[in-house]
Amino acid sequence: MKRLLAMAAMLIAVVGCSEKTHEAAGEAAARAPSGGAGKPLVYATNYPLQYFVERIADGAVDVRFPVPGDQDPANWTPAPDDVLAMQEADLIVLNGASYEGWLKNVSLPPSRMVVTTDGLADRLIPLAVEVTHSHGLEGEHEHSSTAFTTWLDPTLAAAQAAAIQEALAARWPRHADRFEAQLAQLTEELTALDAGTREAVAGNPELPVLFSHPVYQYLAHRYGLDARSVHFEPDQIPDDAAWQELAAMLEERPASWMIWEGSPLPEIRQRLESLRVRSVVFDPCARTPPSGDFLSVMEKNTQALRAVFAADSAPIDS
């Protein structure tokens, strides 16, 4: 009888332990990030970072870029649901260089944050002042005191990609060799992009140019461009003060090209042409392109620069 009672007690204990194990497993599953096909989940705060993670991870993780397609990631503020999703992710890949201004008001787990420019402080470009202005439907915002479109210098883009590879390998060491091989290929392509861009501006490197917006600092610095910026939006007619500022710039230092983030309205293009200034698009590619990928967009940008800096580039005939 005693033996039967002992066996019954043991059976109850085993069942109880089993139930607790299943409960613990269920709780762990509920807390786990919901990556696609059970993959680890990685968030990226702009499209270049998303592209770098996807290239390096080679399918090993699910990459999310939460910014809506009609918003500039530099001016985006995450909703509470976005913050919660990032807090639950395995890694959050950030640009740094003051790009994510919303981080001042958001708490994310430091152990899962990868700030890709943290090791590049000596290569970041400080700006003299913060500038506040409007971006159409996105409303008024400030440009930070640090230039943040770091990926427009392909050598900095490669360094950011290397920081991503290091973080991925530390988190999932069984894939380290795969991540390293993917980084090597991506770095080779970024090196080729850098060489191509340098060759594109070589025909007339001292040509003065204008940027429609102050987001091209790393491009200008990398290739030694003689460039100044205005605050023109491609889908908004500049006011009289903006045109007067541009006229003063052209009087002081004539320029025959303005480089835009997107194609300007025909009215803007025509008025610029009346000032003997052509327009060309160099897409910074901070958001997901409608076609192609980061490298194909950058290669298209290089072709645009080739036309601008051609040896025979000259103002429009008056």
Q: Which residues make Cβ contacts (< 8 Å) with residue 255, sequence separation at least 6? A: 207, 208, 209, 210, 228, 249, 277
User: Do 277 and 264 contact (CB within 8 A), yes or no?
Assistant: no
Region 28-35: mean pLDDT is 41
Q: Is the dihedral of CA 172, 176, 182, 186 positive or negative?
A: positive
The string of pLDDT tens digits covering residues 226-282 is: 999 999 999 999 999 999 999 999 999 999 999 999 999 999 999 999 999 999 999
Amino acid at 211: F
Question: Which among 146, 108, 102, 103 has a CA at the least distance from the CA of 124?
Answer: 146
Strands 131-134 and 140-143 turn out to be: antiparallel
What angle separates helix 154-171 from helix 47-57, to the nearest 10 degrees? 50
Tell me the pTM: 0.84
pLDDT of residue 311: 72
Name the 3-class secondary structure at 98.
coil
Lowest mean pLDDT, pick from 26-30, 97-101, 219-223, 302-306: 26-30
User: Do 249 and 230 contact (CB within 8 A), yes or no?
Assistant: yes
Name the 3-class secondary structure at 310.
coil
Strands 257-260 and 208-211 turn out to be: parallel
d(C-alpha 13, C-alpha 223), whole Å: 72
How big is the CA angle at 98 (ends 97 and 103), to the nearest 5 degrees? 130
With 80 as the cut, is the pLDDT of residue 224 above it?
yes
**Which letter does DSSP use for residue 88 in this model?**
H
d(C-alpha 69, C-alpha 119), whole Å: 29
User: Do 304 and 282 contact (CB within 8 A), yes or no?
Assistant: yes
Domains of the chain (ranges plus CATH)? 36-192 (3.40.50.1980), 203-308 (3.40.50.1980)
What DSSP letter does each residue of 155-170 carry, written as one string?
HHHHHHHHHHHHHHHH
The string of pLDDT tens digits covering residues 133-184 is: 444 444 444 546 899 999 999 999 999 999 999 999 999 999 999 999 999 9
Tokens coding 304: 């645009």
User: Do 207 and 309 contact (CB within 8 A), yes or no?
Assistant: yes
Region 177-195: mean pLDDT is 98
With 80 as the cut, is the pLDDT of residue 301 above it?
yes
**Which letter does DSSP use for residue 19 in this model?**
H
